[in-house]
Amino acid sequence: MAAAQDLQMEDMEEEMEEEKKMREDGEGKDPFKNKKVHRIVSNWMLPEHARRTYMERANCLPPPLFIISISLAELAVFIYYAVWKPQKQWITLDMGILESPFIYDPKKREEAWRFISYMLVHAGVQHILGNLIMQLVLGIPLEMVHKGLRVGLVYLAGVIAGSLASSIFDPLKYLVGASGGVYALMGGYFMNVLVNFREMIPAFGIIRLLIIIAIIASDVGFALYRRFFVPANESPVSFAAHIAGVFAGMSIGYTVFSCFDKTLLKDPRFWISIAAYLACVLFAVLFNIFLSPAN
């Protein structure tokens, strides 16, 4: 009996050693433990000192639902206004979206949901494609690393900052598009690449910076066109959300994305950035109540 028990214990120990080795080598049969994708993501999204921690706990549970859900909602709203609402043409939408209950309308600022819901409405094919490509290509890897709660915090901080900034610096103009949220993600990622440039593989770092700059130049160019060169029969759209989104990303986004292997709520930088953000929000709210030219 004792010999049988010893043999059983040896078998169990051998199985445990094999499982441990499989986990270390990333060769387990569980598809969520396939390390190849996670290794690529960690190289692009994290500095070297944080990659080991990520690889040890990497999984796809929960999957990147926030970015995918937001993208599907934006696409669904665009299709609705492009197909089911009367339009002269759907490459660039005009009157259909300007009558939308989602758009930020300076004349209807008392409808507070518009300060967030404007992100669901886009001005045309180029506008929505640019935002969807940027937030999916960048947002999904970020959400794989930092999970939906943190990515959602940064994204919505950029959205709210965008509408409030537009209400101050472009108070009489409409606002559409998810650029505030997208640029917040890009701002946070951009700061991490700059701060950890050497650790995030210099060649990749240069490529990433060039890609970000090219995408920003294209999107900002479209926003400037919609603001200053729009035809007389269409309404200009504000571009202040782009700038505000970048600043939200470079403050809150950088703090959130740089705390991968730390407890976010214990990082004083997080609370400093949140306090500064809330102070700006409070100023914007008071400006809209008492000083806005749109009153």
Contact 143, 67 (CB under 8 A): yes
Q: Is 242 a catalytic residue?
A: yes
Catalytic residue among 38, 100, 242, 258: 242
Calpha distance 12→209 (Å, rounded): 50
Catalytic residue among 42, 163, 167, 179: 179
Q: Which residue in the block uniquely carries the two structure tokens 């609370």? A: 271
Nearest Cα neighbor of 185 from 122, 128, 142 is 142
Q: 93: which residues sit within 8 A by CB, 6+ positions away?
A: 78, 81, 82, 87, 122, 123, 124
Calpha distance 57→241 (Å, rounded): 36
Contact 251, 281 (CB under 8 A): no
Helix, strand and coil content of the chain, in percent to the nearest 5, comes to: 75, 0, 25
Q: Is 100 a catalytic residue?
A: no
Q: Show which residues are catalytic.
A: 179, 242
